[in-house]
Structure 1
Amino acid sequence: MNHKTILVTDDLPIRTITLNRPERRNAMTREMQTELIGVFEETAATPCGAVILTGVGDAFCSGLDLSELQTMRDRTPAEHRADAERVARLLVSLYELPVPTIAAVNGPAIAGGTGLATVCDFTLATPTAKFGFTEVRIGFVPALVSAFLSLQVGDKRCRDLLLTGRLFGATEAQQLGLVNEIVDREELAPRAEAMARSLLANSPQSMSATKRLLATQNRAWLDAAIVAALEANADSRESSDFREGIAAFLEKRKPIWKSRC
């Protein structure tokens, strides 16, 4: 299958999926989201034993692409809803892959990039990697990723990361439990492969059953959280702060939040 925004390479039974928009710091587009969903769902039906997710160049994923922001204000409520449902499907399909997933974070992973990196079963990061759920800075609601983040770090830390929108480094991410290991840049790919191969020594059926069990234990809460997140996402995109945040970002100025007045 040909892809425009990602690379898929197989060294069976290890599959490596690489975000491939280095000129845009692997920023996410609707096309990339759709291609990733297709690959994740196809991978679930193959004899693949482990998945490595990484990026080309100096960034893992810098968040949503500018081209998406430029057209977002003109989308209809139905189109906004479709956008949110696509992101939910992306995160759920990655979370529920029946094989172990390893994110090799080679650089900044911001907003949606942080979501991709941390929903994986294992997250390796270089010492200079940066993370951040920056959505509130431009009038977005980090709704969908909040469901997964709350499971991972708990309510108090989740509030800190989502309400401040601050950037944080690999060391703090490891302390929060979002990163498993910090690995030097030149050792990142070899370490990810070594981890994948060590997992291949385990029973595929046992690992798949374990992942399915963990997902089942969280499903009732997660399903409800995603439904609420879809509504929050759709509602927020009709707000004045959403429109002002996008305008300020595109015009490279500080937003003026009229909702505060």
Structure 2
Amino acid sequence: MDQVTPPAALAEAQYIRVSVQNGVATIMLARPDVRNAINDDMRAELIDAFDWADGSRDVRAVILTGEGKGFCSGGDVGGMRARLDAPAGSVAFNGWKRQKQTHRGVGVIYDMTKPVIAAVNGAAFGLGLDMALACDFIIAAEGAKMSMSFIKRGLVSDGGGMYFLPRRVGLARAKELILTGRIVEPAEALAMGMIDRVSTPDTLREDAQAWAEELSQGSPAAVALTLSILNQTFESSAADIFKLGREAQAICYTSAEHRASVEAFLNKSSS
């Protein structure tokens, strides 16, 4: 598949870089001077980029990564200062509105109908680690550092980490990581299941690209439905999952990819 040019609105984004190669969109956080800390404008651009990638027929998988030495250092401290400077009677409601946008930014990653890989190229702290955990898979470069650092700011993990992390490492380990905010390096993260693969800094993007291409070879309908059902597994009964599977399979029966696959197999068998 040839390289695809993203729409002009994304090409003109200030804090996000988007490129597509062989059906894989790379969405790069691009505030390297602050280790890609998330501010309101970056969050809005991130939402637009994932919405576009999810709807584009030219995109079959997504890589989320950071520009420069960091993946994402978390929420922008400047935004925290502005929040503290607001009138006392407005702090809670303003925070509620900001949290809604934060959750939209994480939700567009988690709800993608295509595989999403976080390529953690450096520090992933706080909200940055939450965003990585929202992805389907995580590959980290040697030397990257990860921390649920909210506790060090007197905060709780607000970007889904309290949901995603226990599903990867277990409840007790998640509590320990969140309550201490300690730094975890790739070897330990891999051993506990926080991440899925380790790469070198020089080959991280290449390895993530190859993995994304491998994961996205299946029928788009089958991939999307599979991801949707698997994301509900821990909250559902076996009967619920069987029901969702029946409904999804009925959709797959009508897909062009299923028909073409069956016809190709039958033609090969009869020749």
TM-score range, shorter chain: 0.7 to 0.9
Question: Over the residues paired in the alignment, what is the CA RMSD in angstroms?
Answer: 1.7
Distance in 2 between residues matched to 1:134 and 1:72, nearest whole Å: 19
Amino acid corresponding to residue 163 of structure 1 in structure 2: L
1:112 aligns with 2:122: no
Amino acid corresponding to residue 200 of structure 2 in structure 1: D
TM-score of the superposition, structure 2-length normalised? 0.77
Amino acid corresponding to residue 88 of structure 1 in structure 2: H
Per the alignment, residue 144 of structure 2 pairs with 129
Which residue, out of 206, 210, 216, partners 2:232?
216
Distance in 1 between residues matched to 2:36 and 2:130, nearest whole Å: 14
SS of 2:36 mapped into structure 1: coil
1:11 aligns with 2:21: yes
Per the alignment, residue 147 of structure 1 pairs with 163
Equivalences for 1:47-196 in 2 at 5 Å? 47=57, 48-75=59-86, 76=90, 77-143=92-158, 144-196=160-212
- 1:120-172 per-position Cα deviation (integer Å, ceiling 9, x unaligned): 11111111000001111121111442122222222101110111111111111
Q: Which stretch shifts more, 93-102 or 26-35?
A: 26-35
SS of 2:105 mapped into structure 1: helix
Distance in 2 between residues matched to 1:88 and 1:150, nearest whole Å: 18
Per the alignment, residue 21 of structure 1 pairs with 31
Shift of 1:21: 0.6
Distance in 2 between residues matched to 1:189 and 1:104, nearest whole Å: 7
Unaligned runs of 5+ in 1: 221-261
Distance in 2 between residues matched to 1:163 and 1:40, nearest whole Å: 31
Larger radius of gyration: 2
SS of 1:18 mapped into structure 2: strand
Q: Which stretch shifts more, 143-152 or 90-99?
A: 143-152
Distance in 2 between residues matched to 1:39 and 1:219, nearest whole Å: 29
SS of 1:3 mapped into structure 2: coil
Distance in 1 between residues matched to 2:217 and 2:41, nearest whole Å: 35
Per the alignment, residue 47 of structure 2 pairs with 37
SS of 1:73 mapped into structure 2: helix
SS of 1:60 mapped into structure 2: strand
Per the alignment, residue 258 of structure 1 pairs with none
Distance in 2 between residues matched to 1:151 and 1:90, nearest whole Å: 20
Amino acid corresponding to residue 58 of structure 1 in structure 2: K
Percent same amino acid among aligned pairs?
A: 32
The size of the alignment, in residue pairs, is 221
- 1:2-52 per-position Cα deviation (integer Å, ceiling 9, x unaligned): 211110112251111000011111111111112111221222211110001
TM-score of the superposition, structure 1-length normalised? 0.80
Shift of 1:204: 2.0
Distance in 2 between residues matched to 1:19 and 1:104, nearest whole Å: 11
Shift of 1:216: 3.2
Q: Are the equivalent residues in 1 in contact too, given 2:139–2:199 (CA < 8 A)?
A: yes
Amino acid corresponding to residue 215 of structure 1 in structure 2: N
Shift of 1:95: 0.7
Q: Which stretch shifts more, 105-114 or 30-39?
A: 30-39
